[in-house]
Amino acid sequence: MSDTVLSELATVLEARKAADPESSYVAGLYAAGLDAILQKVGEEAVETILAAKQGDATRIVQETADLWFHSLVMLAQQGLGPQAVLDELERRFGLSGLAEKAARGDDAARD
C-alpha cells in the first residue's frame, strides 16, 4: 500500500466522522466508540493470525487488509493519521530491533 493510498484513505476516514452512522460503516464505528473500534482491531488481528496459520495466501492478504483498515480507523479516532506510523517506522529503519525496544523503556519489553 503506497503512502498515497494511505493518505487518501485517511482523508476519507476523517470525513466519515461527520457522516450518518446509518449510512456509513465507519461512521457507525465512530458512533459506537473506542471500545467498539478496538474490538474490531482485535477481531481482525485474530482472523489474520488464523489465516496465516492456515497458510491461505488470499485470506492472509484479505484479513491483513481488514486489520490495517480498522487500525487506521482507530488512529483516526485518536486524532492520528498513517503518516505518524510511517514516520515512526522510518525512524526505526536501520536500527536493531533489540536496541530500539531497549531505548523505549520497560513498556517495550512486553511487546
- Model confidence over 62-90: pLDDT tens digits? 999 999 999 999 999 999 999 999 999 99
- Tens of pLDDT, residue by residue over 11-20, are 999 999 999 9
pTM score: 0.84
- Nearest 5°: the CA angle 12, 27, 22 is 125
Dist CA 64 CA 45 (whole Å)? 8
